[in-house]
Amino acid sequence: MPNNTEETGMERRTSRRRSFLNWLWLGLGLVALAEIVWLVVSFLRPRKPRAKAGGFGSVIETGTVDSFATGTVTAFPRGKFYLSRLENGGFLALSRTCTHLGCTVPWFEKEKKFTCPCHASAFDITGDVINAPAPRALDVYRVFVENNVVKVDTSIRIRRTEFRKAQVTFPRKP
């Protein structure tokens, strides 16, 4: 028969073990709860847009003024726009998104127009509608010229109804 001192020592060890396990489970439960709260807060908090340098949503350097011939359109897939160099020497940065249903409009050099593959809307080199069902001209981005380098700010798309001469950016003459 075991004596009382042996039983008391065994009970104390069992009690300490249970106490330790209870504290362990409580700690793990608190860590799990904190992780769930963090996930919910992260999900509900709005994201800040992260613009990569030279990517969509930032200022993109397209090249020098002289590298664009007049009457041409150059695609910039990374920036999601076309840069039009008009016959008068001005620049327009046009969105690639059709204003009808949002399809990507390609530039057809031979025809000198943008044609939407979804519903055949067509736009001229200035982005103005020449064939419906598109309800308005292609959106534009702000173009500016610094030190003879053409730059396009893709962070804000400018919605417009039609082409106006004031939308064109001209390089400064030295």
pLDDT tens across the length of the chain (174 residues)? 555 555 666 677 777 878 888 899 999 999 999 999 999 988 888 876 555 555 556 788 899 999 999 999 999 988 899 999 999 999 999 999 999 888 999 999 999 999 999 999 999 999 999 988 999 999 999 999 999 999 999 888 999 999 899 999 998 866
Helical ranges in 45-170 per DSSP H: none
Dihedral sign of CA atoms 149, 59, 157, 120 in order: positive
Residue type, 17: R
pTM, entire model: 0.66
CB atoms within 10 A of CB 68: 19
139 HSE (CA, 13 A, CB side): 18
- Strands 59-64 and 140-146, sheet pairing: unpaired
